[in-house]
Amino acid sequence: MSSSSVSSILKDLSAAGTAFDNKEPGSREALIERSRALVATLEVPSEFMQRSFWAEPAMSAILRLGVDVKLFQHLKDAGSDGLGAAALSDKTGVQLALLQRLARHLVAMYVITYHDGAFRATALSNGLAEDNYQHSISFCYDAARPSFNGFPEFFKRTEYKSPTLGGLDGPFQSAHNTQLPFFDWLVATPPYLEHFDSFMSAYRAGKPNWYDPGFYPVAERMITGFDNTVSDVLLVDVGGGRGHDLALFAAQHSSHPGRIILQDREPVIAAVMADEKPFDAQAHNFFTPQPVRGARAYSLHSILHDWGDEEGVRILQNLVPALERGYSRVLLNEIVVSEEKPALAASTMDMMMLAHFAVRERTEAEWRDILAKAGLKIVRIYQYPGAAESLIEAELA
């Protein structure tokens, strides 16, 4: 290891710590990233192997076991008093000797603490006790992890070639012995659809939205210049699910001009229509021509990363005839993978997409290519400190 490298990282950590104290955006993520860099610089190979192949897999397995025995809920309910090993054994039904060993490892991994004869919850373990994170642990361990465990054998069998983009011959199908696409398998294998939905809600929690201050300049790029003689629609959220993004957008920009419209498949929209919402809801399949013409902006949040290039081009091409040249914008809230310094959140999601959908997160060059094939060009890519996703603003080429 290089002492100069360690010194440089420590200086970065000090600067990030000051920024964190000043509540600067991205400072928390910078602290985590630099801390990982410090560990990677200091660890010798044997320690790296022990952490990667013993400590972290064991922790994941204990977390999954903890879901079944409500380990974190019991510690949360105990509050600051905590629970002695015998009491925690009684509540979870885990044999005392085994409980002590499992919980001790979670202490070593900083998930829970132990002092004055009792195991105690932490802010992290209390978060993990919530239903959406309990479901997320089950999804990640039961549904996602087998796909990663199968990488060596799967890619050896395919002679180390990428699976067909968007095909049904990927690591997920191999791991779960199914010919079903990922989402169809979730539906056919309860309770994993519910667990995946919880996982996605947990994944997005606390992350900046593209319309937040300091991310994409909504007032400058969308509201200024809005022309209701072109269309009375400000924003169309294409494939926007139940409208989470649009509801938050409307709350943040309550004085926005024009209408905002949510689009998704008919069953999704039918469920949304029953609720009072600050937007219009419209059934639309994004593989068909866009029916709303001349809107100021069309947003697609994490839509194209679910699809291969051919399908992605088709989705974008269905937008093109609806765009007003020099006025309409296409806003893609997606990961843009850095080739020189990929963020862990970006590379991890790329591995998720490879394992479960046989697709990929794209680099800037790949985004420019897919947009060009659809007749669009990038105006600018907006980034927010510490955020994995960017906002790609595009218009007619």
In this predicted structure, what is the pLDDT of residue 165?
72
C-alpha distances out from residue 184 to 16, 180, 197, 267, 292, Å: 43, 6, 14, 15, 30
Fold of 218-396: Rossmann fold (3.40.50)
**Which residue among 334, 356, 389, 393 is the active-site one?**
334
Indicate the CATH number for domain 3-128. 1.10.10.10
d(CA 111, CA 88): 16
Residue 244: per-residue pLDDT: 86
Contact yes or no for 389/302 (Cβ under 8 A): yes
Instruction: Specify the pLDDT at position 149.
Output: 96
Phi, psi of 270 (to 5 degrees): -60, -35
CA pair distance 5, 34, nearest whole angstrom: 11
pLDDT at 275: 65
- Identify the burial level of 79 via C-beta atoms within 10 angstroms of its C-beta, where 0-12 means exposed, 13-18 middle and 19 or more buried: exposed
Domain ranges of the chain: 3-128, 131-204, 218-396
Is 244 an active-site residue? no
Q: Is 305 a catalytic residue?
A: yes
pLDDT given for residue 213 in this prediction: 93
Whole-angstrom distance, CA of residue 57 vs CA of residue 238: 38
Q: Which contacts qualify for 64-70: CB closer than 8 Å, 24 or more apart?
A: 64/137, 64/138, 64/141, 64/142, 65/102, 66/128, 66/137, 67/134, 67/137, 67/138, 69/93, 69/94
Q: Which of 33, 361, 389, 393 is catalytic?
A: 361
At CB < 8 A and 24+ separation, what contacts does 66-73 make?
66/128, 66/137, 67/134, 67/137, 67/138, 69/93, 69/94, 71/103, 72/121, 72/125, 72/126, 72/128, 72/129, 72/134, 73/129
- The answer to whether 3-128 and 218-396 have equal CATH topology is no
pLDDT at site 272: 80
* Dihedral of alpha carbons 56, 61, 67, 73, sign: negative
Residue 276 has what pLDDT? 72
The pLDDT value recorded for residue 210 is: 95
pLDDT at 167: 72
Closest among 59, 57, 86 to 74, alpha carbons compared: 86
Q: In the prediction, which pLDDT does 54 show?
A: 97
Q: Catalytic annotation on 361?
A: yes
Is-contact 133 64, C-beta < 8 A?
no
Residue among 39, 129, 151 nearest 75 (CA): 129
Statement: the pTM of the whole predicted model exceeds 0.95:
no
Choose the catalytic residue: 305, 356, 389, 393: 305
Profile the chain (397 residues) by mean pLDDT over runs of 10 residues.
84 97 95 96 96 98 98 98 98 98 98 97 97 96 96 96 83 95 91 89 85 96 96 96 90 94 90 78 95 98 92 97 97 95 93 92 96 98 94 97
